[in-house]
A and B are shown apart, each in its own frame.
Chain A
Amino acid sequence: MPSSRNLLAKTIPLLIAVPIFGSLGNVLLGKGMRGMGKIPDLSFPSLAAYLLKILSSGWIWLGIGSLLIFFISYMLVLSWADYSYVMPVTAVGYVLAPLLAHIFLGEVVPGKRWAGAVFIFLGVAVVGRTPPSTTRQV
């Protein structure tokens, strides 16, 4: 069926973009915020100064941009694909995180986390066998 092949051709790139830009955005925001130090006190001028400091960080803007791409990709794919399909499939990001941490940062990943990653991987493979959209009108 050419229609279902077309559907996958546009669904898969977005399903890859969602977890990548989602977790990249969070990492960038985390990196930006780590350089900020503690909030001095809760008075309005010091909060305003703190906010300005946050908004002058390049990492923060990269993080916001990345999360924006994440959210737009998420909205686009949900314009045709089922939520009950997109939600589990994009959980593949949880598999990527320990894998990348292990390969690039040399982190020791606990066994429980690998076990969880295997569960997610299998789950995504199973959901991936179902049609992406069950409500679509062609």
Chain B
Amino acid sequence: MRTFVFLAVVVLAGTGGDLAVTHAMKQIGEVKSFSPRALLGVMWRALKSRWIWLGIALMTVAFFALLAVLTWAEVSFVVPATAANYVVGAVGAKFLLKERVSQTRWAGLLLVAAGVALVCAAR
């Protein structure tokens, strides 16, 4: 039970962090120039965004929750289970970021999630 609670935190905080960073970058807007000056400007705006810091905070929570769960649960169970990130992340992208996740993209996502689970399960 404790393992599942922590795994849920790992997956939800991890994808939540990614979604927050994505939201921040979409607010900043499409980067069109890659000159050092332009990139510094983008980074400066990013550092001023609350969403970036929320994202980094959530990623930190996910990281420490993963470290914690690994102290008692099997790596060969925990790490493949984090492949759930792909599915949860796509659901979040669809409903929170309003991305259009087509059936083709879903098919590819599920293949990737299954593949990541397999790769991580093989020890």
Contact = CB atoms under 8 A, between A and B. Distances in A.
Do A and B come from the same complex?
yes
Interface of A: 10, 72, 74-76, 78-80, 82-85, 87-88, 91, 94-95, 97-98, 110-113, 115-130, 134-136
B108 A134 contact: no
Interface in B69-98: 85-86, 89-90, 92-94, 97-98
B43 interface: yes
A116 B108 contact: no
A120 B115 contact: yes
Given A85-B105, A134-B100, A72 B43 contact: yes
Contacts of B18: 83, 87
B26 A135 contact: yes
Interface residues of B, number: 48
B67 interface: no
Interface of B: 18-19, 21-22, 25-26, 28-31, 34, 39, 42-43, 46, 52, 85-86, 89-90, 92-94, 97-102, 104-105, 107-123
Contacts of B21: 74-75, 78
B122 A120 contact: no
Contacts of B34: 10
